[in-house]
Structure 1
Amino acid sequence: MKPPPFDYHAPTSVREAVEVLAEVGAHGKVLAGGQSLIPLLNMRIAAPAHLVDINRVAGLGEIRTDATGVRVGALVRHAEVERSAAACLAQPLLRQALKLVAHPVIRNRGTVVGSLVHADPAAELPAVLALLGGSVRLASTTGEREVAAADFFTGPMESATRTGELAVSAFFPAWDGGTKFLEVARRHGDYAMAGVAAAVRLDEDLRVTAAKVACVSVGPAPVVVDVTAACGGRPVASVEWGPVVAAVQDRIEPEADIHATADYRRHLTGVLVERAIKAAADV
């Protein structure tokens, strides 16, 4: 299969890239890793008149890490973050999630920011960003703006990126507690039938002082639920899991497909919520 014809642009700076995007408007698509876009082009699901390849743009391939978290540039590949000791020390949930993303050959080329902009509700990285309260930085000819994860994912395969804007980086905040990402897929590397990322904080007596989860494949966007109150301020070993699971299941909107029924996805999410919180508390 071959993509439809398009005009090819290869800017070498952010300024040049956003100028091209402003000029071509809604008829343009950005190419970074291409692991989502290229199949869409080849299957003629997407047919942009202009392809803006940002792989030559300087300054977008950096991973910056400090005590506040990890900022990932638009050209940073999944595998680079997965292998970065500094990034995974600052935010372990990144490596936990990235190990579940597709297969190594995909992670070697696919980009972290590209996955976020693609906004697939079954993808792991949007859930990580949403759970941590991260953000995406967008550039245009009028300047830059930082969009919080809560406002960035607007629907299935839809983000707050406007026509003419380029996502230049994403920020994943640090978390002073434990994290865990668990999912169930028919085969390793497939999209999850259900997945749960958990972030937990304990006090010195090992009681839960904060607990929240983000769920994938059970709604039009990552579903983030704060279950701190449902955990009752107890040690994890004595938490009553029924109310915790119910608090999450009341918020999700699973749909049936050829892989699983909606009821199975709802049940599976509940199982993963308990397991992920326990594992995060044990880190």
Structure 2
Amino acid sequence: MIPTSFDYAAPTTIDEALQMLAASPDDTKLLAGGQSLIPVMKLRLADAEHLVDLGRIEQMRGVRMDGDRLVIGAMTEHHEVASHPLVAAHAGVLADAAASVADPQVRHRGTIGGALVHADPAGDYPAPALALDAELVITGATGTRTVPAAEFFEDYFTTAVGDDEILTEIRLPSYSGWGGRYEKFTRVAQQWSIVAVAAEVRVDGGVIAEARIGLTNMGSTPIRARGVEAALAGCAIDDGSVAEACASVAEGTSPPNDINGDADYRRHLATVLTRRAVLGAARQEPAH
């Protein structure tokens, strides 16, 4: 199908984009990579009188260190997140998740910021962002504010970004020396996650010293498995010990029932994938 007609603009600065957005926030949509917005516009499940393309705003691109914080511009494409050495060194599970997004064509067009603001429960960035205690930098006409990932995702396809605001960058603590793994289960290749698990693990003295665990598609927003994180502290790195520590990961979750599987199936998957993700991260095994 063909989308409804709209006016198109491509600003080169954040201030220009905010001015365009402020002129008609209810009738304006922001275009990042377009991998989620364009398909729904073609189906006429969404429309806009004004489309503001953020693709020419260079200040919203790239990966850098700011002291001990990893900073990723919201318009950075998935393939750069997956392949950038700074992301691999300081947020390994995020690089692993980015490499699993869709297919190469999508990874070269889609952006981390667009995916986070889209906030699909089955999307691959929210759980790593939550597990890594990311901070999301949001810019509006009145200035800039920083929202922790735990408060950013509010419900299905709903975030803390206001109608007149733009997500401009993602800031993360450094997890240098930790191991990261994103384990994802799909029915067919390049599908949205039926369930996925993000694990970032620090090993000390041959045991797990700390762990960060995030769950994908186990509720309307990503879920932090803090009980499992506590159980993993001091855990030996063997299948039996890790499986025991991860056994309760699905407790308190509300996974969907749909054509890809019912809630009980997803709870089982979460338990299996958490064990795999933790062991892979702890042993720093190459990603699949």
TM-score, length-scaled by structure 1 = 0.93
Could you tell me how far 1:141 is from its partner in structure 2?
A: 1.1
Query: Are the equivalent residues in 2 in contact too, given 1:100–1:188 (CA < 8 A)?
Result: no
Query: Are the equivalent residues in 2 in contact too, given 1:225–1:251 (CA < 8 A)?
Result: no
SS of the residue corresponding to residue 252 of structure 1 reads coil
TM-score, length-scaled by structure 2 = 0.92
Residue in 1 that maps onto 2:11: 11
SS of the residue corresponding to residue 121 of structure 2 reads coil
Residue in 2 that maps onto 1:127: 127
Query: Are the equivalent residues in 2 in contact too, given 1:33–1:111 (CA < 8 A)?
Result: yes
Query: Considering only aligned residues, what root-mean-square deviation do their CA atoms show, in Å?
Result: 1.7
Answer with 22-31 or 225-234: which moved more: 225-234
Could you tell me how far 1:114 is from its partner in structure 2?
A: 0.7
Could you tell me how far 1:48 is from its partner in structure 2?
A: 1.8
Name the % identity.
Answer: 35
Distance 1:67 1:270 in 2: 36
Could you tell me how far 1:243 is from its partner in structure 2?
A: 5.1
Residue in 1 that maps onto 2:236: 235
Answer with 223-232 or 119-128: which moved more: 223-232
The 5 Å alignment of 1:55-204 reads: 55-65=55-65, 68-176=68-176, 177-204=178-205
Deviations 1:238-278 (A, max 9, x none): 626345321x1113211111111211111011111111111
The 5 Å alignment of 1:219-230 reads: 219-226=219-226, 227-230=228-231
Establish whether residue 245 from structure 1 lines up as the match of residue 247 from structure 2.
yes
Could you tell me how far 1:203 is from its partner in structure 2?
A: 2.4
**2:70 partner amino acid:** V
Deviations 1:121-157 (A, max 9, x none): 1111111111100011111111111111011011111
SS of the residue corresponding to residue 55 of structure 1 reads coil
Could you tell me how far 1:210 is from its partner in structure 2?
A: 1.7
Query: Are the equivalent residues in 2 in contact too, given 1:65–1:87 (CA < 8 A)?
Result: no
Residue in 1 that maps onto 2:283: 282
**1:113 partner amino acid:** G
Could you tell me how far 1:56 is from its partner in structure 2?
A: 2.1
SS of the residue corresponding to residue 267 of structure 1 reads helix
Distance 1:164 1:280 in 2: 39
Could you tell me how far 1:173 is from its partner in structure 2?
A: 2.5
Residue in 1 that maps onto 2:2: 2
SS of the residue corresponding to residue 21 of structure 1 reads helix
